[in-house]
Copies of this chain bind each other. A is one copy, B any other.
Amino acid sequence: MRLTRAGEYAVRCVLYLASKGAGTIGNRKQIAAEMDIPEQFLGKIAQQLARAGFLEIMQGARGGLKLLVAPENLTLLDVVEAVIGEIFLNDCVIRPESCQRSQACSVHLVWEKARSQLRDTLREATFASLQNKDSCVIPLDRER
């Protein structure tokens, strides 16, 4: 029960773009290098984030990734769910037909509560609030 690599890389990619300010075009090679994202992964993630309307993929020699949403309006939940799909923790919460017990099951209620709390916490974290520590986007070993 944990975030996929794709989810982690998507968060890093948006962290990078958000740190550069809205409208800046981030160079793909640079994002991959600075944020430790395998390049082939970054391409796929960028497509998912573009499909969700969070960034634009600019083609050409001076192309790259451009954040379309202001960091204060973009949350960790938005970015994570754009890549891994809606968080639900247990199948029964989102697909009641997956368990015949769902309707009357008290465990189901616990999973619903847990899911709701998790999504609220990720929703509260905007990429503007995550910029408070600049070091977040610089690998520690490169600071030394």
- Please list the residues of chain A having a beta carbon within 8 angstroms of any beta carbon in chain B: 1-4, 7-8, 11, 15, 36, 76, 84, 87-91, 99-101, 103-107, 110-111, 113-114, 117-118, 121-122, 125, 129-133, 135-141
Contacts and interface: CB of A to CB of B under 8 A. Distances in A.
State the majority secondary structure of interface residues on A.
helix
B140 A103 contact: yes
Contacts of A136: 101, 104-107
B90 A3 contact: yes
26 contacts: A1-B7, A2-B89, A3-B89, A3-B91, A8-B90, A8-B99, A11-B107, A36-B100, A76-B110, A89-B118, A101-B135, A101-B136, A101-B137, A101-B139, A103-B140, A104-B135, A105-B135, A106-B130, A106-B133, A106-B136, A107-B130, A110-B122, A113-B121, A114-B117, A114-B122, A117-B121
